[in-house]
Structures are given as C-alpha cells and as structure tokens.
Amino acid sequence: MGKPKIACYWAASCGGCDVSVLDIGSKLADIVEQVEIVFWPIALDFKYKDVEAMPDQSIDICLFNGGIRNEENEHMAKLLRRKSKILIAYGACAYLGGILGLANLATLKELFSRVYRETPSTVNPENTVPQPTVKVKEGELKLSPLLEYLKPLNEVVEVDYYIPGCPPIGEKAWEALIALIKGEKPPKGTVLTADERTVCDSCPRVKEEKKIKELKRIYQVIPDPEKCFLEQGIICMGPATRGGCDAQCIKAGLPCKGCFGPAPNVEDQGARMLSALASIVEVNSEEEAKRFAESVADPAGTFYLFSLPSSMLKRRVK
C-alpha cells in the first residue's frame, strides 16, 4: 500500500487555513514523509486538469478550506468530492461560511457598488466593474461568476468531517488527520478537534455573577485580565462557541469571537449568543431594553462573525 494521498484546496478564503497546515513547524517534514500530497495550489504546482485526471475516490483525504462564493469554488468542491474518499471542511469558512459570509447581508449588486464605487478609498471615475468575460488582444479572459450568496461547503456537497477554527489549530488538525489515516473513523459529520462543551469550560478566567448593566467595547476599558469578559460587559462569544481551542484568544487577552462555531446541541450560534447576552443585562424598563439593544453596534456581525451562511436565516431575506 502506498502512502496516503492528501489534497488541500482553498475556495473563498484568506489563505490562513493553508498557513495553519504549515503551522506545526519542523514536524511538517516528518508528516510529509508519511503522506503524499497530490494537490495543493497554494504550495505546489498542480493544475486542475491533474485533479480531473485522477480516478474517482483516489484521494484519501481532502482538506477543503474556504466558502463557496463563485462557480469555480462550486465546481472544485464537486470535483474534489468525487475524487476523495474523505472530504473535510477545513476551517470556519468551509465549515460555517466564515467571515466572508457576512457579505450575505448584502446583495451582489450592493457588494459591487460598495467595493468598486462607494468605499472612501475607491477612485473609479470610469465605473469599471469586473465582468465575467473581457476581451484583450491576446483573446478572451474569464472570471468565474460570483454566486448570489456564499455557502458553506456542506450546502453544495456531502461533507464527511469538519475542522473548525479561523484558522484551525494546525497541530490538532494533523493529529486528527493521522488518526483518520490510521483508520480511526468517528461518525460522519463529526466536528474534529472540537470539544463537546463551549469555550467557557476551558477559560481560566474567574466567573462570579453573570449580570451586567451595560456593554463596553474593548477599547473603552482596560479589562481585568483575571475576570470573565462578559461579566465586565465586554461581549465574548465564549459561552456560545464550541471549545477545542483551549481558549487561546482569551488567554491572550482578547474575548472569543466565535470561530469554532456553535455548541454541538445548537443550530444557530448567533441566536444563542444574542439570547444569552440579552438575558444577563439588567433592565428595569422597556426604555432600558431599547437602549441596550441600541448599544450593540452590529448584532449580526458580532453574533454571526463566522457562522452567518450556516445560520437559520443564512442570508439577507429581502
């Protein structure tokens, strides 16, 4: 039996996931000894046609990062699904939609207008906007058309496992891969490298009473480094976010942003956090309730920073 064949692919993503694969330092050399990398656009020179030429199911494990934002992403997702025995949605974008998924709150038209016309730094007097095809003297250039909305990987193909994180924790991810290679296969759909409980469970901060009077943004206060962020009025997604990260952001002095996604028993991470947060604020009148709601600057962006395309509403409704 040959070395297990591994493929890595990036769809709509920032590249951080690919970097996380390299994030284990010199151990990578040992691992690379044990596996054969058959496709990895960011690191090695393979072409799409190489993949197309592979027999179906010939890739043992495919790590797919990034969301599905354009037709090319979707095509590659389907292609790699066909070619792979195990397809893993790797990182928050492939798993949940990720930060790029926040664009689902706008229509394509609005997005283009914003990006190519409205931002203060844009200078575009000719109103040049990317087109699907453009003729140049060498011939016709093609850009993959954007889909109306960004989708997580499991909305276009069947996904075997998920590895959460923005980015995932390289070391843990490799451990999980090695286990898979050894044939230790958890049930389909398992979120690998994640805990059953939320970040609070591994958070070292002291929790006393979860009651707050008002919210504070992190730049407004010097947070007490020993005390629960939420109890200080600073939004921390920890309670609504699946653990497994060892609370590394919190330990570094930053509140959790939610990149590991919802707790296992939860469908909609944002709704859970919204409900928990609104529940712990002490409000004595309807006016105060309104004022509190107003004080949350960007609820969707806060509560669904990584999970909007896999939330219940998934995108702008109207």
Quote the CA–CA distance of 282 and 267 in Å, as a whole number. Answer: 27
Residue whose CB is less far from another protein, 138 or 294: 294
Instruction: Report, in Å, the least distance between residue 194 CB and another protein.
Output: 12
CB of 279 to another protein, least distance (A): 4
Closer CB to another protein, residue 81 or residue 315? Answer: 315
Comparison of 42 and 283: residue with beta carbon closer to another protein: 283
One-letter amino acid identity for 232? Answer: Q
Least CB distance to another protein at residue 78 (A): 16
Dist. CA 312–CA 159, nearest whole Å: 19
Provide the β-strand partners of residue 10. Answer: 65
**Shortest distance, CB of residue 295 to another protein, whole angstroms?**
9
Residues in touch with another protein (CB under 8 A): 105, 155, 196-201, 204, 207-211, 230, 238-240, 243, 263-268, 270-281, 283-286, 289-290, 292-294, 296, 298-301, 303, 311-318
Give 95 or 229: the residue with its C-beta nearer to another protein. 229
| CB of 5 vs another protein, minimal distance in Å | 31
Least CB distance to another protein at residue 53 (A): 32
For another protein, the closer CB: 30 or 267: 267
Do the beta carbons of residue 104 and residue 42 sit within 8 Å?
A: no
Q: Decide: 263 and 270 in contact? Cβ < 8 Å.
A: no
Tell me phi and psi for residue 184, to 5 degrees: -85, 95
Whichever of 119 and 275 has its CB closer to another protein, that residue is 275
- CA-to-CA dists, residue 94 to 21, 38, 199, 260, 314, angstroms: 15, 20, 21, 12, 14
Give the chain's count of helices (H) and strands (E): 11, 9
Picking from 86, 78, 216, the residue whose alpha carbon sits closest to that of residue 157 is 78
